Amino acid sequence: MLFLSAMLPTLDPELRRALAARIRYYNEMGIYDFYRRPPSDRAVEIAAAPIAVDEEGIAVLQQTFVTGVEMSPRKATAVAVSRAVEENIFEVIALKPEQSVSDPVEALKIIREDLGDCTRCVLHKQGRKQIVFGVGNPKAELMFVGEGPGADEDAQGEPFVGRAGQLLNNMIKAMGIEREQVYIANIVKCRPPGNRTPEREECATCSPFLMRQIAVVKPKVIVALGAVAAKTLLAMSASMMQLRGRFYEFRPAGIRMNDRSNEPRWDGCKLAVIYHPAFLLRDPRQKGEAWKDLQMVMKELGMKAPKQNT
């Protein structure tokens, strides 16, 4: 493509990767429009071109460079990103199909349909019975995210229905609410064989669907249950001791916030990390710490714990 080769004759793969990462970072902060000041004060104008992909799989956004002139926001910048780069920048920028639907039930259905009979990672051929999508109030203020389905969840098609689920239900009750009021999902939607920890690759493949679910539900607070959920959602690695006990600002990665004027804008939410219920079953002494974390969440949501019957 002539336009591209004229514009980016020397962009090496490293630079492209860095550019993609930087743009993704800005996108995650809600910034989508950029313009570039040319190096000299001489006006440079490159003809506007529609989004296009050249023979090497390099995608180009519409662009115009004009020195010293205020850019109209949508005409602004140019980004060139190789398809070989692990992240496809258009995945980041484009609105997801469910984002044109205002009913969250319908929107979640669209995501479920998109997931289909998923074969995107190896878990589909490692004995899963069914995909465990997520359950609960599609307008929940509070969302719990676990690691992945176990045997009971795989059999019933619903997250947290086994022993860990019973404990999670009790924790939710202790907060003074019902399970049906919250939304519950997992990082991976298929049962890892033998309940092993999902691999990074599996989490990375599956979590974009969870990010879309989060963007539909628009919770005020997400509670990440255990290290896998925490590390995947926060894209950081640390111990549970380091991760819990505080709030993080969270925005679902890869999702462009929809600023349709007829809906209140949702700009992400708070995220807290607590011990996974399965861990608490193994080490009940940590329940007090988990309860402290849940009280922090309740305070944030303006909730009061019910009085205990003695």
Residues that bind ligand URA (CB under 6 A): 146-150, 153, 159-160, 162, 164-165, 186, 278
Q: Measured from the CB of residue 282, what is the shortest distance to ligand URA in angstroms?
A: 13
The nearer residue to ligand URA, 104 or 149, going by C-beta atoms, is: 149
Nearest to 148 by CA among 169, 135, 131: 131
The nearer residue to ligand URA, 186 or 232, going by C-beta atoms, is: 186
Any idea what the Cα angle at residue 67 is, between residues 66 and 72, rounded to 5°? Answer: 45
Q: Measured from the CB of residue 300, what is the shortest distance to ligand URA in angstroms?
A: 23
Nearest to 184 by CA among 163, 203, 157, 202: 157
The nearer residue to ligand URA, 79 or 188, going by C-beta atoms, is: 188
Q: Measured from the CB of residue 73, what is the shortest distance to ligand URA in angstroms?
A: 42
Interatomic CA distance for residues 278 and 17, integer angstroms: 39
Q: Measured from the CB of residue 240, what is the shortest distance to ligand URA in angstroms?
A: 14
The nearer residue to ligand URA, 149 or 254, going by C-beta atoms, is: 149
Q: Which residue is nearest to ligand URA (CB)?
A: 146
Interatomic CA distance for residues 257 and 272, integer angstroms: 21
Q: Measured from the CB of residue 270, what is the shortest distance to ligand URA in angstroms?
A: 21
Q: In 3-state terms, the chain is what percent helix, strand and coil (to 5)?
A: 40, 10, 50
The nearer residue to ligand URA, 20 or 132, going by C-beta atoms, is: 132
Interatomic CA distance for residues 243 and 116, integer angstroms: 34
Contact 250, 234 (CB under 8 A): yes
Interatomic CA distance for residues 283 and 71, integer angstroms: 59
The nearer residue to ligand URA, 28 or 153, going by C-beta atoms, is: 153
Q: Measured from the CB of residue 34, what is the shortest distance to ligand URA in angstroms?
A: 39
